[in-house]
Amino acid sequence: MRNNSVLHRALPIVAAALGKKLGVKVVMQGQTACTNGSTIYLPALKSESEHAPALWGYLTHEAAHVRFTDFDCVRQANRISPLAGSLHNILEDGVIEREIAKVYPGAVKSLGDTAEHLVQEKLWMDVTPETANGMSPEAILSGYILFHVRCNPELANQASILEGYRDRFRAAFLQAFGLETLLGLDAILDRAGSNLSTSDTLDMTKEILAYLNLQAEAQQPDSGNSKNSDQNDPQQSASDDEDDSPGKGGGTNDQNDDSSSDDNAETGSDDSQGAQDGSDDDSNQDSGASSAEGSDADSADDSPNGSSASDNAGSDAGDDGDDASSGGDSANGQDDSREADSGADGATSSTDTAGASATSGTPTPDQQDALKQSLEAADDSNMAGDVLQPLQDAIEEEVRKTGTDKAASSIATAHQAGESFNHVGDGSALDLEARSLTRKLRQQLQGLVQTSRLDREITGRRGRNLSTRRLCRMKMGDTRVFSRREETLAPDTAIHLLVDASGSMGYEARAQMASVATYGLAISLQSIERVAVTASSFCGGSTIVRSILEHGEQARRQPGKFLIVPQGGTPLAPGVWHGLKSLIAAGAERSVLIVLTDGGAGDYPEAADAIRKARQAGVELYGVGIQELAHPELFDDSVTVTDVRLLGKELFQLARRKLITG
């Protein structure tokens, strides 16, 4: 193909081609973006849309979900709580984008371009010191985790684009939830790169929820031991009841004790007499919670910026948790304040010393309340769960305002062409008739090819054959008297046969003639070296475009697929777009589209536009009229077959003028 830039700007074709590379089906239709687990549906966005360049990253991301996400785990996360569903999706997005980059090298650039587009268009949620107080706790929490994961070099690795978002959300997180919560969460998130599957991301989601729940229930110096651990968050308890993996969720203290301290295993939920032994259970669970705080804080030692603060937190929670009260008091002291200030400076450059001091140590009551609010949030619209949801919303809104792209609508059912053709029979009768009528055509085409390739005689000073016409040159000292014939190799040619299967083809045995013509052309052209042939039909039935012959298939092995079943109208445009998609997939130097039809297009303006774009891209278009051809002006050249006995002759005339000699 000489110039396919026009077609590369046709979103439906590029989307379908990219989907094929990614191993998924892609259809552009309607006004919403969604997937059913095997096919990705994109809104019919206009090619000139400002969001068009970002569509490829969106498609790559969704294809990665289709290929790598275990949707059973997704449903399990959503059952726990809205926050769990959002956090799980954030962690999963990082893993699938890493995996798709392994099988599709262009994924990194596509995803990066899309991220830059969202930054430029200010589509992502953002936070500033001025807006942090008005942002919901769940938005701050999910936003920080989102951009922390996006900047992880082992996952999405988009720090060069998104580190500003991460730092701003980190400052807001520090103010809302405290330094100890930040360092402990970072220690968990730093291991996100080791997640290998959707199950791993679900386990990490439960670990995060368990840790946040412990922080929300951390004792304050003035709270003593009066808090009853049996008064857990009812939403968390209900979530854990729904969880199929007990012991890993973040809903109940029993589960938290299991995950943080083996010493408190005997206080688990198996004891149904918690009300009778309340005082003992309370003391055990409080001790377990304090120990878990120390354990989680100690785990932050691995973080290069959290050593002094985590050591301080660990010492506060030491001695079996008996000194939790005194630890809280010391966190407000001068020495510990200086240590916390140092930790805060390491955690974020955007927080001053006073801010770090105010948020150091164990979460304050206000910060605990903020954590509880985030864990109990039931509206996921405030959470940053799906990294590309803002882009999807913007695209859908644009399509609703500007209308659907007609070209995209025309090719909306292009991937349905992969369905099997409805066989009327085994095609043996068609095979016999077509072979008989096109035998001479095949012989003529072979001779025409051989003649066109033996282009000229070449003379040289060496060889085996003397040119008697040039022997006289010897007298003049010219020794170029040896000759050879140079064979001119024709360019690789891809030909797509597009046959009309509309209801009008049922008149005067036109469907039979079209079947014979399409099959005869296919077997004749496939006999020519360096020519690849594909075929499809179009009609106004339930499936607009049906595949007849795919790349690499031999027409002679499946004649039954060429039998035409007339039905519906004549939607030529979708057929043309599907044919162009097939030609692009072939990647040949020369592309030819042959349309076999009996009448006019029912969607003439759309069909004319599709043909015009194809012609601009260097595709040659020829028409074969079956009994008649209503719009010959649409094609570069055409013939009309009125008698099936003249089929071979008419097709040879077209081939001689255009297909072989070009």
The enclosing domain of 545 has a CATH number of 3.40.50.410
Does one domain contain both 314 and 439? no
- Alpha helix ranges (H) inside 332-421: 334-347, 353-358, 365-376, 389-402, 406-410
**474 and 543: one domain?**
no
Are residues 351 and 239 part of one domain?
A: yes
Distance CA 552, CA 51 (A): 36
Alpha-carbon gap, residue 568 to 452, rounded angstroms: 42
- Do 480 and 497 sit in the same domain of this protein? no
**465 lies in the same domain as 594:** no
Do residues 267 and 319 both lie within one domain? yes
Q: Is residue 411 part of a domain?
A: no
Specify if 466 maps to a domain: yes
Residue 397 lies in a domain: no
Average pLDDT of span 310-336: 40
pLDDT reported for residue 369: 93
What pLDDT, on a 0 to 100 scale, did the predictor assign at position 447?
A: 65
User: In whole angstroms, what is the distance from residue 242 CA to residue 305 CA?
Assistant: 38
Residues 538 and 564 in one domain: yes
Which of 55-59, 416-420, 475-479, 597-601 shows the lowest mean pLDDT across its residues?
416-420
Select the more confidently predicted residue: 211 or 616: 211
Neighbours of 487 (CB within 10 A): 10
* Distance (Å, whole) CA 461 – CA 15: 55
Count: domains in the chain: 3
477 shares its domain with 545: no
Given a cut of 50, whether residue 259 has pLDDT beyond it is no
Residue 7 in domain = no
In a domain, 152, yes or no: yes
Position 303 pLDDT exceeds 60: no
Q: What is the mean pLDDT of residues 612-639?
A: 87
Q: Which of 390, 412, 442 is the last residue of a domain?
A: 390
Q: Is residue 49 part of a domain?
A: no
pLDDT value of residue 322: 41
Same-domain pairing of 375 and 234 = yes
pTM of the model as a whole: 0.53
Pairwise pLDDT comparison (570 vs 332), residue with the higher score: 570
| Residue 3 belongs to a domain | no
pLDDT given at position 478 = 78
Rounded to whole angstroms, the Cα distance separating 603 from 180 reads 65
Are 246 and 295 in a shared domain?
Answer: yes
Q: Which of 390, 408, 436 is the last residue of a domain?
A: 390
Would residue 413 count as lying in a domain?
no
469 and 606 inside one domain: no
Please tell me whether residues 647 and 582 are part of one structural domain: yes
Q: Which domain holds residue 482?
A: 456-487
